[in-house]
């Protein structure tokens, strides 16, 4: 029985009520979506394929997602939500860690296929671009925010009083890191190994001039 002190049961998005969503069912559906996308590709993937693989009724999918676009984006977002940023003791070490983990994730067939598929499809679908931005990009900026806060607390980076400027800086850092790694791993198809990551991090930390010479 639910504890009365825990407050009223939240109303689902859109004001719909009914039986609560099952986290296990959601996880099974998203995993089935990624598997089907790797095997079938974007054009052949259907909601029916996913429902059969996940062992749920097609109506269950449509109660959660309006269509294939939304479902695939959420399947990708779940993968990226697994990225974490443990405190490695310095900004440089934090960057190297998260870049290597991001690259490892992109090497997984389900991540690579799903991300490339939704990005390609979004060039023709503004609503899909908006969903990618909110479900993936905006959520992953949390890692940049956390890394900057730690670096500021260590004295490695200055604090920015202007929230608007801080937001633009966060956006730029995210674009540089995510864009570079995605291009390297998925477009150029070159390795994102420790040597490359160390070189990239040095460039990011010190700019094109490189680190100042030792006194």
| pTM exceeding the 0.85 threshold for the entire prediction | no
Tens-digit pLDDT profile for residues 139-156: 999 999 999 999 999 999
Distances in Å between the alpha carbon of 128 and those of 6, 55, 191?
Answer: 36, 26, 29
**Closest residue by Cα to residue 140 from 129, 150, 149, 132:** 132
Tens-digit pLDDT profile for residues 2-52: 344 444 444 444 444 444 567 888 999 999 999 999 999 888 999 999 999
């Amino acid at each position: 029985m639910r504890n009365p002190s825990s407050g009223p049961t939240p109303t689902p998005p859109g004001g719909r009520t009914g039986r609560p969503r099952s986290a296990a069912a959601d996880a099974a559906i998203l995993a089935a979506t990624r598997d089907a996308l790797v095997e079938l590709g974007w054009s052949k993937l259907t909601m029916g394929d996913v429902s059969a693989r996940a062992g749920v009724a097609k109506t269950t999918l449509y109660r959660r997602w309006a269509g294939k676009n939304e479902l695939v984006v959420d399947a990708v977002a779940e993968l990226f939500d697994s990225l974490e940023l443990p405190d490695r003791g310095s900004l440089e070490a934090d960057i190297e860690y998260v870049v290597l983990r991001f690259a490892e994730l992109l090497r997984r067939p389900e991540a690579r296929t799903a991300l490339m598929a939704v990005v390609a499809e979004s060039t023709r679908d503004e609503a899909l671009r908006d969903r990618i931005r909110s479900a993936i990009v905006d959520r992953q900026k949390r890692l940049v925010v956390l890394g900057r806060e730690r670096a500021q607390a260590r004295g490695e980076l200055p604090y920015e009083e202007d929230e608007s400027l801080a937001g633009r800086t966060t956006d730029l850092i995210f674009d540089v890191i995510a864009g570079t790694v995605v291009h390297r791993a998925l477009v150029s198809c070159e390795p994102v190994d420790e040597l490359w990551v160390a070189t990239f991090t040095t460039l990011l930390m010190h700019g094109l001039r490189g680190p100042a010479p030792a006194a």
